[in-house]
Amino acid sequence: MIAFIICLTLTLINFPALSGPKKASYREVCATIQYLVLPQYPPDAVATGLQGDVLIDIEVDSGGKVSEVKEQSGPAVLAAAARAAIMQWRFGKGPLARSLPQQTEIVFRYWIGRAIAGLTDESDRLVVLVPSNLADGGALNAGGRTLSFLAATRAQPPFPARAPRQSARVEVEVETTDPGRVSAAQVGPGNPAYRAAAEDAARQWTFRKINMNGSPVRLRGRLVFTWVVN
């Protein structure tokens, strides 16, 4: 997964007003998404082993509803399922976004197998991972750099008080409860003092309520904390 630097992601996302629809990045989509629906994997596609990517272009109206959908590429049967699903998506302003995206491209990545649904980022687009057999409908894997933009509040760890200042990087795998609080945190390798600071900061993060297929979901993903000594 691609790491992000905490100190660079603490600013609010604010979309400038343009004369025409602005194509939003995955960051802006994640910061405003409230309700998502996974496509139903067509049984005929599963039977024939059909999988792959579908690229969808959408426009969002001022009320946060998807107003227009254009299928850009991908197998027609999978694109039709993606279209039906994304028409039900809803967006809203949040702690990290004062305005809504107007237009964006989203990739639906269909995969035959049993897995948890997920989000990730690729080429500045949001990628939605759609397994044919959903392993846990109450969880959503937030891969790549998507998890940080689903946050409601963030915490940046200071340099540990009882350790020498040094450049450091610590990864923390987290899982949230339905209300958006961190319920579990697993810290990766590194200097013990920095690992403790990273875990403490990660547990202070909160995340927006995200509904999938009609119910709140738990989020799973990775936060990366970076300290830099100039």
Q: Is residue 1 part of a domain?
A: no
Alpha carbons 14 and 98: distance in angstroms, whole number: 6
Domain count, the chain: 1
Backbone angles phi, psi at 93, to 5 degrees: -65, 150
Sign of CA pseudo-dihedral 230, 4, 90, 15: positive
What one-letter code names the amino acid at 123?
A: S
CATH number for the domain harbouring residue 71: 3.30.2420.10
Is 203 part of any domain? Answer: yes
- Residue-level pLDDT at 83: 98
In terms of residue numbers, what domain contains 187? 6-227
Please check whether residue 21 lies inside any domain of the structure: yes
In a domain, 118, yes or no: yes
pLDDT at 17: 45
pLDDT at 178: 74
Query: Has residue 40 been placed in a domain?
Result: yes
- Element of type H or E holding 192: helix 192-202
Strands 211-212 and 33-36: parallel
Of 97, 114, 106, the residue nearest 46 (C-alpha) = 114
Residue 230's pLDDT is: 85
Per-residue pLDDT tens digits of the chain, which is 230 residues long: 333 333 333 334 454 444 566 799 999 999 999 999 999 999 999 999 999 999 999 999 999 999 999 999 999 999 999 999 999 999 999 888 889 999 999 999 999 999 999 999 999 999 999 999 999 999 999 999 999 999 999 999 999 998 999 999 999 999 999 789 999 999 999 999 999 999 999 999 999 999 999 999 999 999 999 999 98
Q: Is 133 part of any domain? A: yes
